[in-house]
Chain A
Amino acid sequence: MKHRKLFALLLTVVLSVGAVFTGCGSGSGQSDTIKVGFYGTLAGSGAYVDTAAKMAIEDYIEQINANGGWLGKQVQLVSYDVSKDPATESVTAATRLIEQDKVIGIVGISGTASTLPIISLCNETQTPCIASAATNTKVTMNEDTGEVYPYLFRVCFIDPYQGTALADFAYNDLDIQKVATLTRVNNAYAMGIQEYFKEQYTALGGKIVKELGYQETEVEFRAQLTAAADAGATAILVAASEYKDAGLIANQAADLGLEFTFLLPDGVYASELLNVAGDTLGSSYISVGADENDPAFADFKSSFDEKHKDSGYTANIYTYYALDSFMLLEYAVKTADSLDGPAIRDALENAKDAPCFTEAITIDPETHNPLNKSITVLTVKDGAYSVYKTYKPE
């Protein structure tokens, strides 16, 4: 028995050492390349978000390298998939990026759930991490102590910001009195949006007539929609994180002959939403950080879609956010003129009007969130998104 266990232990050690060395063959020992880390859902059903983001960053790096790189060094993106078990794999992927690949920072993490596990790791190892679409307040702030995490940043707006804005918009602009909410209940993002929407909307004097929810793999929403209609709701806040959910909800409401105004957060914003639910999204309003089809992005989008035609992935809003996070890191590296973690961190914290993809970003040193992010409200018209209104907070 003893020998067996010894053997088991030995095998485990050998395997773990093997694991450490397998991925390191390429590029280790070349100190003239700067490595930037990225991880996300690159396989499985949620892969459409992060795969396009990864491609876009790699394309952008090609351009950078053609122009001489950063600080005279070539740049390389190291990316890992964490789709099997984000809670565990985020930790191992990030540790590997930081330790084995020696990345100067981690960018483009699109989910709250896959950012939260690595907060203490980034702080301990002094590795800046810029989330692209992790919108929960807990990503950059310790809620118990009110302190900001020194190495965590983000380029997107936060859940309270968007939830509150949607509530203001629904109550003031659309004059909707009764809203039902339909929330993906095991999703941190969706729960956050719903929570802050409810808070602001009831504070304004509106009424939430029904709070409904659904589980992650759900495809059938008619029971909830019927209940919402019965409760007298004229609008539904669809706190979803994937466009599929919002599309199916709109389709099934149309099937039931129910007419709701749908209020959608940016999590469901994708051109594919229109393929799933084109005409059924009749009177929907969606709040986003940037209009995907803004002429300013048209060149990028068409060249990206053309280049990656065969992959089946198209540029979407997350692609832009991911580029934002990468370009913010680029700005910080260049401002700090250093590859040192703390130096980059300081540059990130004091970033002012950093030229990013969607707009110039200024980081609030108190919260590590971008300041004055504009919110654009889109509506669906004739099977396409059109800008309804843009808020530019001062």
Chain B
Amino acid sequence: MNLFLQQLVIGLSIGSVYALLAVGYALITSIFNFTNFGYGAVMMCGAFAAYFAVVKLGFPTLIGLVFAIIFAVFISLITELVAYRPLRKRKSPRLYLMITAMGFNIFLLNLAVVLLGANVRYLPSTFSTDSIHMGSIVVSALDVYSLFASLISLAVLWVFLYLSKQGLAIRSAAHDTDTAGLMGINVNKVSLIVFAISGITAGIAGTFMGMKYTVYPNLGDIANKAFIASVIGGMGSLPGAVLGGFILGVIETMVSGYISSALRDLFSFGIMILVLIFLPNGIVGKKVQDKL
């Protein structure tokens, strides 16, 4: 039983990061209907910014987090302005957007390798990282922090989307981008806000990923898992992304712990395929209207 609880705790903590990242995917998918494969690279940029602030400039972790967010937002906006917007303007098929995103991922990843080197960097945290013991169950302090950071940012995002005017604009754009544009909503502004938000989630996730798993150019690979999570939850659905993140985290941990760790990816991708085939809209996403 203890083993089960311990694995559950680990699964939830992994899931919390997946959830945060999956939201970044879901936001963009919901509005622009394409999968932003460049997202992982944006997260990696955020992690490097945090590393630069904390290790090179000697700032505390919180300032590092701010650096990460600012830089990730910056990169995220650049990708939108330079690559995605012109394509959308031309009404290119969304496959083109996906391929551009893939190109961005390759570009940023290798640029980081060339400019910064492929070495793994240790990102220290200035707050306590002692593990918390609850009976025989151990919870890592970083997990608690990242769980809180995930939950807080998700809550803030919810408030923003549902209680602010901009949020309403985003939700209507998600519902039907073209009609929203006709109704006088500045879709370009909405897209900037959305990419900024996805940059913020990437920055937060990047910092915590960096502290947990060190900082290196391929850090963005983790975002692929978040992508699976967003698919399982329902592509383009925010609650689905959160739920999918936690579900995937727990499933992965349980498969590793009880079935076979070597076959874990087989399970996560296999489940993704089954969900897509039998629940094409994911676990949560029922109709297009329910996206946000």
Q: Which residues of A contact B (CB under 8 A)?
A: 43-48, 51, 182-183, 185, 212-215, 217, 219-220, 222-224, 226-227, 230, 243-244, 247-248, 252, 255-257, 272, 275-276, 311-313
Show 27 A/B contacts (Cβ-Cβ < 8 Å), sorted by A. A43-B114, A44-B218, A45-B113, A47-B118, A212-B256, A212-B262, A213-B261, A213-B262, A219-B213, A223-B253, A223-B256, A223-B257, A224-B257, A224-B261, A226-B10, A227-B261, A230-B3, A243-B120, A244-B214, A244-B216, A248-B213, A255-B140, A256-B131, A256-B140, A257-B131, A276-B120, A311-B117
- Across the interface, which residues of A come within 8 angstroms of B3, CB to CB? 226-227, 230
Which 6 residue pairs of A and B lie closest in terms of their CB atoms, listed nearest first?
A213-B262, A312-B117, A223-B256, A45-B218, A47-B118, A219-B213
In contact, B110 and A43 (Cβ under 8 angstroms):
yes
Contact of A257 among B120, B138, B142, B224 (CB under 8 A): B138
5 additional A-B pairs beyond A45-B218, A46-B118, A313-B117, beta carbons within 8 Å, are A45-B217, A224-B261, A247-B214, A256-B138, A276-B214
Complex Cα gap A255–B140 (Å) = 6
> What's the tally of chain B residues with a CB closer than 8 Å to chain A?
43
Q: Closest approach, in angstroms, between the C-beta of A215 and any C-beta of chain B?
A: 5
Does B107 make an interface contact (CB < 8 A)?
no
Q: Closest approach, in angstroms, between the C-beta of A183 and any C-beta of chain B?
A: 8
- Across the interface, which residues of A come within 8 angstroms of B264, CB to CB? 214-215
Complex Cα gap A192–B34 (Å) = 41
Q: Closest approach, in angstroms, between the C-beta of B4 and any C-beta of chain A?
A: 10
Q: Taking A226-B10, A256-B138 as contacts, is the C-beta distance between A44 and B118 under 8 angstroms?
A: yes
In contact, B119 and A313 (Cβ under 8 angstroms):
yes
Complex Cα gap A68–B40 (Å) = 50
Does B290 make an interface contact (CB < 8 A)?
no
Q: Taking A44-B118, A226-B3 as contacts, is the C-beta distance between A217 and B218 under 8 angstroms?
A: yes
In contact, B122 and A275 (Cβ under 8 angstroms):
yes
Does B221 make an interface contact (CB < 8 A)?
yes
Complex Cα gap A255–B125 (Å) = 14
- Across the interface, which residues of A come within 8 angstroms of B133, CB to CB? 257
In contact, A215 and B265 (Cβ under 8 angstroms):
yes
Complex Cα gap A226–B114 (Å) = 37
Interface centre among A44, A222, A230 (most CB of B within 10 A): A222
Complex Cα gap A45–B113 (Å) = 7
Complex Cα gap A46–B254 (Å) = 30
Q: Closest approach, in angstroms, between the C-beta of B114 and any C-beta of chain A?
A: 7
Complex Cα gap A312–B120 (Å) = 11
Complex Cα gap A212–B263 (Å) = 10
In contact, B256 and A312 (Cβ under 8 angstroms):
no
Within 8 A of A (CB), among B240-273: 252-254, 256-258, 260-262, 264-265
Does B14 make an interface contact (CB < 8 A)?
yes
In contact, A220 and B14 (Cβ under 8 angstroms):
yes
Does B11 make an interface contact (CB < 8 A)?
yes
Per-position 1/0 for B148-173, Cβ under 8 A of A: 00000000000000000000000000
Write the chain A residue with the least CB distance to B114: A43
Does B116 make an interface contact (CB < 8 A)?
yes
- Across the interface, which residues of A come within 8 angstroms of B209, CB to CB? 219
In contact, A48 and B119 (Cβ under 8 angstroms):
yes
Within 8 A of A (CB), among B72-101: none
Q: Closest approach, in angstroms, between the C-beta of A170 and any C-beta of chain B?
A: 21
Q: Closest approach, in angstroms, between the C-beta of A193 and any C-beta of chain B?
A: 15
Q: Closest approach, in angstroms, between the C-beta of A141 and any C-beta of chain B?
A: 27
Contact of B119 among A214, A230, A312 (CB under 8 A): A312
- Across the interface, which residues of A come within 8 angstroms of B131, CB to CB? 255-257
In contact, A45 and B216 (Cβ under 8 angstroms):
yes
Write the chain B residue with the least CB distance to A258: B138
Complex Cα gap A223–B265 (Å) = 14
Q: Closest approach, in angstroms, between the C-beta of A197 and any C-beta of chain B?
A: 16
- Across the interface, which residues of A come within 8 angstroms of B138, CB to CB? 255-257
- Across the interface, which residues of B come within 8 angstroms of A213, CB to CB? 260-262
- Across the interface, which residues of B come within 8 angstroms of A252, CB to CB? 140
Complex Cα gap A255–B9 (Å) = 13
In contact, B262 and A185 (Cβ under 8 angstroms):
yes
Within 8 A of A (CB), among B206-256: 209, 212-214, 216-218, 221-222, 224, 252-254, 256
Does B6 make an interface contact (CB < 8 A)?
yes
Q: Closest approach, in angstroms, between the C-beta of A163 and any C-beta of chain B?
A: 18
Q: Taking A47-B113, A244-B120 as contacts, is the C-beta distance between A223 and B217 under 8 angstroms?
A: no
Write the chain A residue with the least CB distance to B2: A230
Q: Closest approach, in angstroms, between the C-beta of A102 and any C-beta of chain B?
A: 29
Does B7 make an interface contact (CB < 8 A)?
yes
- Across the interface, which residues of A come within 8 angstroms of B257, CB to CB? 223-224, 226-227
Complex Cα gap A223–B209 (Å) = 17
Complex Cα gap A214–B252 (Å) = 11
- Across the interface, which residues of A come within 8 angstroms of B140, CB to CB? 252, 255-256
In contact, B222 and A217 (Cβ under 8 angstroms):
yes
Q: Closest approach, in angstroms, between the C-beta of B71 and any C-beta of chain A?
A: 20
Write the chain B residue with the least CB distance to A313: B117
Complex Cα gap A155–B6 (Å) = 45
